[in-house]
Amino acid sequence: MNLQESIETLFARSEFTSDDRKVYEEFKLALRSGEIRSAEKDAEGNWHANAWVKQGILLGFRMGKMVELSGPAETLRFFDKDTFPLRPMSLEDGVRIVVGGSAIRDGSYVAPSVVVMPPAYINVGSYVDEGTMVDSHALVGSCAQIGKRVHLSAAAQIGGVLEPVNATPVIIEDDVLVGGNTGVYEGTIVRTRAVLASGVILTRSTPVFDLPNDRVIKAPEGGSLEIPPGAVVVQGARAVTNEFGRSNGLSVYCPIIVKYRDSRTDAATRLEDYLR
């Protein structure tokens, strides 16, 4: 059997042998090297979850045993499944991990030239491509797919998803700038060169108001919210229109596309190139 068939067979079982554990370790190594991914883009530009890869990750939780992962002299103690230690790293990986307490879980792919500022966390199944910066207090959730030259600013939260296995994870395509304290969740897809200003929150149920095109962008039934290529998204508000809302001057949060990326936007985001 190939690796996919082996994982699908093991996923249907509840007891495991030492040979089964070898199959899982082969699977995790393929995740770590980027040979397999939890989601991929097809020729038409549509993203699809690889359900069997998510099954393999879930299999690791079922197969693993709780162990202590901290060293004997450490004051802080850590306990987790032995199938998910920290990702082995070396200088040859070409990843810049600045001193200060970041963690990268095994089963994630982190490409050469990625910069990780402390403290940041990259979870299992995620894919972080070349030239990306993961800034302080940023989270890359399980199975999230991060493209090339992305900037995840301080405290940016990229949500993760393992179940259901056919659910598309959060996708951040190439050359996207994610501002500080921004949250992207529930399988949202942010297309190439978009800019999410500080504090923007995006979920599957979030309507996005596109001012340049006089439209409201919503996730289709059962699908993902998509932010168009080059969109510049900021925090906004819309009035509550019932009588109580009007009388009390209430409004609710909404993200607004105020323009699409241009040369001025590019100049404003170029500073990060000097930090690499």
Is 274 domain-assigned?
no
- The predicted pLDDT at position 265 comes to 66
Is residue 273 a part of any domain in this protein? no
Q: What is the pLDDT of residues 8-38, one digit of tens each?
A: 999 999 999 999 999 999 999 999 999 999 9
79 domain residue, yes or no: no
Compute how many other C-beta atoms are within 10 angstroms of the C-beta atom of residue 157: 19
Check residue 153 and give its pLDDT. Answer: 97
**Mean pLDDT throughout 76-97?**
95
Give the helix/strand (H/E) hosting 28: helix 18-33
Residue 273: pLDDT band by 50, 70, 90 thresholds? low
Q: CATH number, domain at 102? A: 2.160.10.10
Residue 230 per-residue DSSP state: T
Q: Which residues, 6+ apart, have CB-to-CB distance to 175 below 8 Å?
A: 147, 148, 149, 150, 192, 193
Please, which pLDDT band fits residue 1 given cuts at 50, 70 and 90?
confident
Rounded to whole angstroms, the Cα distance separating 100 from 245 reads: 47
Least Cα distance to 54 among 126, 110, 114 occurs for 126
The whole-number average pLDDT for the span 103-115 is 98
Q: Which domain covers residue 50, as residue numbers?
A: 3-67+84-268
What does the alpha-carbon distance between residue 128 and residue 111 come to, in Å, rounded to a whole number? 6
Look at residue 114 and tell me if it is in a domain.
yes
- Helical (H) or strand (E) element with 259: strand 251-260
Tell me, yes or no, whether 171 lies in a domain: yes
Q: Is residue 76 part of a domain?
A: no
Q: Residues 152-197: pLDDT tens digits?
A: 999 999 999 999 999 999 999 999 999 999 999 999 999 999 999 9
Residue range 228-253: mean pLDDT, rounded: 96
The alpha carbon torsion through 80, 135, 127, 57 (nearest 10 deg) reads: 20
Q: Residue 227 domain-assigned?
A: yes
Quote the pLDDT of residue 263. 74
The pLDDT confidence band at residue 76, using thresholds 50, 70 and 90, is confident
Give the separation between CA 239 and CA 216, rounded to whole angstroms.
15
Q: Which two tokens stand for residue 123?
A: 């979870």
**Overall number of domains in the chain:** 1
Count of C-beta atoms within a 10 Å radius of residue 198: 15
- pLDDT of 270 reads 61
Q: How many CB atoms lie within 10 A of CB 143?
A: 32
Sign of CA dihedral 196, 197, 202, 206: negative
Looking at the domain assignment, is residue 77 inside a domain?
A: no
